[in-house]
């Protein structure tokens, strides 16, 4: 069985992303990724809702996902991405995958045989990140 994140871990994850977006991420990169979200869904029916007035805080608060499958390390290696550590939760790094708009944190597994689980956030939500 995979480990499921706690509310405290989700809150810490959101706080680290908010801080990175506000203090480190170039505003142009945020705008480019949000424009990509709108452009990619133009022909999708039914059209997913993208609120252009949604603040970064609202987008982050409403769109954290918990996934199972590949670990962050596997994704980074498989797509040849560069990642920046933006903080730590429970001794594990929270990473920003450069130029994709993806933030990820691997949830500690209960046993070595558990499937990998992670928290993630995509700036381009609901569209796929660049290169995905």
| pLDDT score, position 44 | 58
In-domain check, residue 107:
yes
Q: What is the pLDDT of residue 99?
A: 86
Q: Say if 128 falls within a structural domain.
A: no
Q: b vs e for 71-86, b when ≥16 Cβ sit within 10 Å of the residue's Cβ?
A: bbeebbeeeebebeeb
Q: How many separate domains does the chain show? A: 1
Residue 58 included in any domain:
yes
Q: Residue 1 has what pLDDT?
A: 41
Enclosing domain of residue 47: 7-120
Which pLDDT does position 119 carry in this prediction? 94
**Cα distance between residue 104 and residue 128, in whole Å:** 15
Assigned domain for 86 exists:
yes
| 62, part of any domain | yes
Q: In angstroms, rounded to a whole number, what is the distance separating the alpha carbons of residues 44 and 10? A: 30
- pTM of the predicted structure, to 2 decimals: 0.85
Q: Is the pLDDT confidence value at 45 over 80? A: no
Q: Is 75 a domain residue? A: yes
Please check whether residue 53 lies inside any domain of the structure.
Answer: yes
Residue 112 or residue 57, greater confidence: 57
Asked if residue 39 belongs to a domain, the reply is yes
**Confidence band of 2 (pLDDT split at 50, 70, 90):** very low
Nearest C-alpha neighbor of 131 from the set 53, 67, 76: 76
């Amino acid at each position: 069985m995979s480990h499921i994140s706690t509310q405290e871990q989700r809150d810490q994850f959101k706080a680290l992303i908010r801080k990175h977006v506000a203090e480190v991420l170039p505003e142009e990169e945020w705008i480019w990724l949000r424009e990509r979200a709108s452009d990619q869904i133009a022909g999708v029916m039914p059209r997913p809702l993208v609120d252009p007035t949604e603040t970064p805080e609202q987008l982050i608060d409403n769109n954290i996902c918990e996934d199972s499958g590949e670990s962050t390390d596997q994704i980074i290696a498989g797509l040849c991405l560069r990642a920046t550590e933006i903080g730590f939760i429970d001794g594990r790094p929270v990473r920003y995958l450069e130029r994709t708009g993806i933030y990820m944190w691997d949830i500690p597994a209960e046993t070595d045989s558990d499937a990998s689980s992670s928290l993630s956030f995509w700036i381009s939500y609901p569209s796929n990140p660049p290169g995905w």
